[in-house]
């Protein structure tokens, strides 16, 4: 069955090419397609396209399909062109002409948009939760190791004293920014496209405010043409927000790869978190972090792939968006996997507490010596030259008191303030409201 079927068979090769990987990809959208249909039929009841008995029969069957799809041992398969056709086929086979009414006043175009929006909201929730867990672990590690000093680098040259507290905390605060970027994507997908149909609305007097309320959207996309016009922009924004998250993971992973090398030796991991060499018995490779870095960089190309696919399209729907759907849907789970493996690995990180005992790091304290002279009244530029000459003459003696007390420095990490920043960002997501709306749609007692 195809929703556009007109009584003739499509050429088999054409059919397989145009369907592509949709049957597999659309399994990710199945439960959201059913939730959207539950809201849609309630709206059809409101505008008297369905009577009360028809509504309850359709609703009962849709909930049965949802439970089948959502079961841990589900055997649900898409045998037709896509998830939209599959759900309607089940309803039609079991309910006859009543099942055919479900597509009234909507198109596959606004169905797939709705499914992607609902799916994206749910996946963003999962990424926020996973990121919060990683954030909390980084803050914990920052607090535990706040007094353990390590070298700070600029240009990969020894620069100034840092600490593991400062290092872990810096990535924690990066995740705060990532959640702010993710919230932008969330706001964009938290608008209801249902009712825009093929992009030009419907002559049936549908109630779009009702479906907006039923599905827990903050607002709706008012202009029906804009729903399709904004299609690639939505996916690009999602891709950008995912790129922000994985950029943090990639940079952290690069640090770990560097810091675990024998030349640095700042951190290490238990043997079971490393891999070996087929020829060199001594090797303990940080493959987890190398793969996180590579996979993160792959995800960062997603925005540009979408831009290249859609940048020259005019307004209205095009089948090109099918390819975009196939890119964006699996990306969420890839990001979740990367967050999870980083979290899993760094719970077992081992910190070298004796790094700065090595004499090669003595120039790390040159700025401390300059600042001591400044506080004694020597102009900064003169103090800088005095210490530079001591270094050139090989008579420099480092001052290792490290009296850093200002906000955000080694001695004043402000982790509590960073935690409050994260809470301020994450409370902007209204996940609880959405869960309540879904429960209402799926409650068999209502």
Dihedral of alpha carbons 229, 235, 236, 240, sign: positive
Q: Please indicate, yes or no, if residue 94 is contained in any of the structural domains.
A: yes
Same domain for 228 and 93: no
What percentage of the chain has pLDDT greater than the value 90? 76
Q: Are residues 199 and 283 in the same domain?
A: yes
Q: Domain tally for the chain?
A: 2
The pLDDT tens digits of the residues spanning 357-375 come to: 898 899 999 999 999 999 9
Claim to verify: residue 81 and residue 118 sit in the same structural domain: no
pLDDT given for residue 309 in this prediction: 87
Instruction: Tell me, yes or no, whether 300 and 156 share the same domain.
Output: yes
What domain range includes position 81?
A: 12-103
Shared domain check, 199 and 81: no
What pairing do the DSSP bridges indicate for beta strands 191-192 and 157-163?
Answer: unpaired
Compute, in degrees rounded to 10, the torsion defined by CA atoms 329, 332, 334, 339.
180
Calculate the CA 110 to chain-centre distance. Answer: 24
What per-residue confidence (pLDDT) applies to 307?
92
Gyration radius from the chain CA atoms: 28
In-domain check, residue 3: no
CATH number of the domain within which 55 lies:
1.10.275.10
Closest to 425 in 3D by CA, of 124, 117, 220: 124
Last residue of a domain, one of 59, 84, 103: 103
68 and 122 part of one domain: no
Does residue 183 carry a pLDDT above 70? yes
Q: Is residue 240 part of a domain?
A: yes
| Distance separating alpha carbons of residues 222 and 24, to the nearest angstrom | 32
* Per-residue pLDDT at 445 exceeds 80: no
| Domain end (from 56, 72, 103) | 103
> Strand, helix or coil at 210?
helix
Question: Are residues 167 and 243 part of one domain?
Answer: yes
Element (H, E) at 152: strand 149-154
Contact 396, 383 (CB under 8 A): no
Q: Is residue 367 part of a domain?
A: no
Helix (H) / strand (E) containing 297: helix 287-300
> In the numeric block, which tokens belong to residue 412?
């004043």
Q: Does a structural domain hold residue 369?
A: no
Q: Residue 161's beta-bridge partner residues?
A: 151
Helices (H), 311-443: 320-346, 366-375, 380-392, 415-426, 431-442
- 379 within some domain: no
Mark whether 65 and 164 lie in a shared domain: no
With 0-12 / 13-18 / 19 or more C-beta atoms within 10 angstroms meaning exposed / middle / buried, residue 414 is middle
Same domain for 97 and 231, yes or no, is no
In a domain, 34, yes or no: yes
Pair (86, 137) in one structural domain:
no
Q: Crossing angle for the helix pair 320-346 and 302-310, nearest 10 degrees? A: 170
Nearest to 127 by CA among 181, 179, 177, 172: 179
CA 156 to chain CA centroid, nearest Å: 30
Say which CATH number the domain at 167 has.
Answer: 1.20.200.10
User: Residue 96: what are its φ and ψ, rounded to 5°?
Assistant: 70, -135
Residue 294 maps to a domain: yes
Taken in order 172, 173, 176, 180, the sign of the CA dihedral is negative
pLDDT of res. 4 = 43
- Are residues 119 and 23 part of one domain? no
The 10s digit of each residue's pLDDT in 2-40 is 554 555 566 577 667 666 677 778 889 999 999 999 999
**What pLDDT does residue 281 have?**
77
Domain boundary among 103, 137, 162: 103
Q: Are residues 44 and 116 in the same domain?
A: no
C-alpha to C-alpha distance for 322 and 331, rounded to whole angstroms = 15
């Amino acid at each position: 069955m195809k929703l556009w079927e007109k009584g003739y068979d499509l050429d088999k090769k054409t059919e397989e090419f145009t369907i592509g990987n949709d049957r597999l990809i659309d399994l990710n959208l199945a439960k959201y397609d059913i939730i959207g249909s539950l809201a849609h039929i309630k709206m059809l009841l409101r505008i008297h396209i369905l009577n009360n008995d028809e509504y309850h029969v359709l609703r009962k069957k849709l909930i049965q399909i949802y439970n089948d799809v959502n079961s841990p041992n589900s055997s649900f398969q898409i045998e037709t062109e896509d998830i939209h056709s599959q759900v309607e086929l089940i309803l039609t086979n079991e309910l006859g002409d009543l099942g055919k009414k479900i597509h009234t006043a909507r198109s596959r175009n606004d169905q797939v948009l709705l499914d992607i929006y609902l799916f994206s909201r749910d996946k963003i929730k999962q990424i926020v939760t996973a990121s919060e867990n990683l954030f909390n672990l980084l803050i914990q590690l920052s607090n535990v190791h706040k007094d353990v000093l390590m070298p700070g680098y600029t240009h990969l040259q020894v620069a100034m004293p840092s600490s593991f507290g400062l290092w872990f905390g810096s990535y924690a605060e990066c995740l705060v920014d990532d959640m702010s970027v993710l919230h932008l994507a969330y706001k964009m997908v938290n608008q209801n496209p249902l009712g825009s149909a093929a992009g030009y609305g419907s002559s049936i007097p549908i109630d779009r405010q009702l479906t907006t309320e039923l599905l827990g959207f903050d607002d709706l996309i008012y202009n029906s043409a804009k729903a399709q016009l904004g299609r690639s922009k939505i996916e690009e924004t999602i891709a950008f927000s995912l790129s922000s998250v994985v950029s943090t993971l990639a940079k952290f992973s690069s640090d770990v790869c560097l810091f675990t090398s024998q030349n640095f030796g700042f951190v290490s991991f238990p043997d079971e978190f490393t891999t070996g060499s087929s020829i060199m018995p001594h090797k303990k490779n940080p493959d987890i972090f190398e793969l996180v870095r590579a996979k993160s960089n792959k995800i960062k190309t997603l925005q540009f792939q979408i831009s290249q696919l859609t940048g020259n399209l005019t307004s209205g729907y095009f089948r090109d968006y099918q390819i975009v759907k196939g890119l964006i849907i699996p990306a969420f789970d890839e990001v979740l996997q990367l967050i999870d493996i980083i979290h899993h690995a760094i719970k077992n990180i081992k910190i070298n507490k004796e790094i700065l005992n090595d004499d090669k790091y003595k120039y790390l304290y040159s700025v401390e010596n300059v600042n001591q002279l400044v506080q004694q009244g020597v102009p900064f530029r003169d103090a800088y030259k005095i210490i530079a000459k001591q270094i050139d003459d090989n008579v420099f003696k480092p001052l290792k008191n490290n009296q850093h007390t200002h906000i955000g420095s080694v001695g004043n990490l402000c982790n509590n303030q960073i935690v409050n920043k994260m809470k301020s960002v994450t409370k902007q997501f209204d996940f609880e409201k959405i869960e309540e709306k879904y429960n209402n749609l799926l409650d068999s007692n209502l």
